[in-house]
Amino acid sequence: MAAMIGSTAPFDGQSQKWEEYCEVLHHFFRANGIDDAGRRKDILLSAVGSQTYSLMRNLVSPAKPGDKTFDELVKLLKDHFNPKPSEIVQRCKFNSRYRKQGETVMEFVAVLRKLAQDCNYGDKLSEMIRDRLVCGIVDDRIQRRLLSEPELTFDKALKLAQAIETACKDV
């Protein structure tokens, strides 16, 4: 049997989202050529750790986790750890966010991207992040420059804001 590439750590709900854990698990499967659904399930059950396994047992009771498919177990834990958030609440959080003192433009944009994940903006995502960047920048020099720019795209707004931020630091 060939050695495995990488490893799978137990799931830690305090420091990690279930979706992130599943992404790492899928990379592990792909790196090791594990396509068999039964084998994937067995790896999941042996890797998630005792707390998550106990939780799984409780959620599927009176059945056992081994009686379920890999996809059923992943969905079960996704529904448990990541219940669907309210779109309007998420949009309120997104639209209320302003750049904090000492926060770089890139840090602000990273937070906006995270906040927008459950807003369901679809094709308008880039436009919404651009608008929030312009409105939430809380720096008159940057904001005025962005507002004066015709046909402002998100990429253009980000580059301009970063350039002005860098120039102001260096002066």
pLDDT over 70 for what percent of the chain? 98
CA angle 58-62-63, nearest 5°? 95
Q: Is the pLDDT of residue 42 over 80?
A: yes
* Cα–chain center distance at 72: 22
Q: How far is CA 64 from CA 34, 48, 53, 55, 67, in A?
A: 23, 15, 10, 11, 5
- Determine the Cα–Cα distance for residues 57 and 11; give it in Å rounded to an integer: 15
Which tens digit of pLDDT belongs to each residue from 109-121? 999 999 999 999 9
What are the sequence ranges of the domains in the chain? 18-81, 87-170
**Mean pLDDT on 20-26:** 94
Q: Is the pLDDT of residue 2 over 80?
A: no
